[in-house]
Amino acid sequence: MSRTVIALESRLKDCANVLTLGVRPNFSDYGPDEATMIRNADTVYYPATFYADLLDAMGKRTFPSYHTYKCVMDKIKQTALFDLFNLPHPRTRVYYGKKVSRAPVDFSYPFIAKIPRGSSMGRGVFLIRDEADLTAYAERCSSATYIQERLPIDRDIRVVIIGREIILAYWRLAPEGDFRSNISVGGRVSLDPVPQAALDLALHCARSCRWDDVGIDICCCDGRYAILEANMKYGKEGFRTAGIDYIRLMERLIGDGKI
């Protein structure tokens, strides 16, 4: 007897083979039948960060993995993992409180500053040209600041990995006059071939960090590939440009037992 495939977050709500229950603020808000389905499910899909923690504690498998959720929109944890696994990435430092004043000592202007937690789609990324820019950026941050060297690039590569496979890879080209290549700020998708070295690095990164639903951004500078960051809440524009129906794709991956 087959079990019902269940999800909590709405990401799979249009999938014909998935029942989406929603994310309730209290587990007691689920009805008795829903609670039983969650407890008995082989896998709970898209449980949200809160329930991913709890389900991991009871030994329940989730997709994405608990490890994936732990790094959602947390650039500090991501960078620490890159360092732990000796994965190539731009030189980066995290400062707390007033220690960000040391950034111009450690980095030459201009450099990149990012909102370290909770930002996405390029909206929390700033080009720091001088002390005034640095001060304005620091005022946006609650405690931690995240500083990264600026690399002379005008494009990067997005590699989407779902399960243990690369599903899609494409270039993101920065709009004229902007240092960011995010689609949400005017970047453009290019389906030109992506070098195998970039694909290999992305897959190695995802498997090392135990991320199984992620868009990994990679750049090439001076002939070397480096990881910029990982996006667990990646957009779908690349799928649309490539002619891939994301919902049908997820239905197949779930039906085939690949995720």
pLDDT at 180: 73
| Beta sheet of 125-128, edge-to-edge order | 92-96, 144-148, 111-114, 125-128
User: Rounded to whole angstroms, how far apart are CA atoms 231 and 174?
Assistant: 18
The answer as to whether 73 is a domain residue is no
Question: What is the percent of the chain where pLDDT is above 90?
Answer: 85
Mean pLDDT (whole number) for 196-206: 98
pLDDT tens digits, one per residue of 138-180 = 998 878 999 999 999 989 999 999 999 999 999 999 887 677 7
For residues 165 and 236, membership in a common domain is answered with: yes
Task: Count structural domains, the chain.
Answer: 3
Other Cβ atoms less than 10 A from the Cβ of 259: the count is 18
Residue 57 phi, psi (nearest 5): -60, -30
For residue 54, give the amino acid letter: L
| CATH number assigned to the domain comprising residue 140 | 3.30.1490.20
Pair (102, 169) in one structural domain: no
Residue 172 lies in a domain: yes
Helix (H, G, I), strand (E, B) or coil at 257: coil
**pTM of the predicted structure, to 2 decimals:** 0.91
Per-residue pLDDT at 1: 36
Give tens-digit pLDDT for 85-132.
Answer: 999 999 999 999 889 999 999 999 999 999 998 766 557 899 999 999
Tokens linked to 39: 């407890």
The pLDDT of residue 56: 96
Distance separating alpha carbons of residues 88 and 205, to the nearest angstrom: 10
Task: Please say if the pLDDT value at position 16 is more than 70.
Answer: yes
**CA-based nearest residue to 214, from 48, 72, 108, 35:** 72
Residue 108 forms part of a structural domain: yes
243 has pLDDT over 70 = yes
Question: What's the whole-number mean pLDDT along residues 64-82?
Answer: 95
What pLDDT was estimated at residue 143? 85
Question: Where is pLDDT greater, at 169 or 184?
Answer: 169
User: How many beta carbons lie within 10 A of that of residue 172, not counting itself?
Assistant: 21
Full domain range(s) for residue 136: 91-148
232 with 163, same domain: the answer is yes
Same-domain pairing of 167 and 239:
yes
195 and 132 in a common domain: no
| Cβ neighbours for 203, distance < 8 A, ≥ 6 positions apart | 159, 161, 166
pLDDT for residue 119: 67
Answer yes or no: do 242 and 165 share one domain. yes
- Other C-beta atoms lying within 10 Å of the C-beta of residue 149: 16
